[in-house]
Amino acid sequence: MNLWNLFVFFAKVGVLTFGGGYAMIPILEREIVDKQGWASSEELMDYYAVGQCTPGVIAVNTATFIGRKVAGVPGGIVATAGVVFPSVVIITVIAGILSNFADIPAVQSAFAGIRVCVCVLIFNAVVKLWKAAVPDKATLVLAVLVFGLSFFLKLSPVIFVIFCAAAGILLTRLGVRGK
pLDDT band at 72 (very low <50, low <70, confident <90, very high): very high
Domain ranges of the chain: 3-132, 134-179
Model confidence over 37-65: pLDDT tens digits?
Answer: 889 888 888 888 888 777 778 888 889 99
Give the integer Cα–Cα distance in Å for 6 and 2: 6
Per-residue model confidence (pLDDT) at position 3: 94
Question: What is the pTM (predicted TM-score) of this model?
Answer: 0.61
Instruction: Write the Ramachandran bin of 71: left for phi over 0, alpha for psi from -120 to 50, otherwise beta.
Output: alpha
Question: Could you write out the DSSP letters of every residue in 110-122?
Answer: HHHHHHHHHHHHH
pLDDT band at 178 (very low <50, low <70, confident <90, very high): low
Radius of gyration of the chain (CA): 19
Model confidence over 85-101: pLDDT tens digits?
Answer: 988 898 888 888 877 88
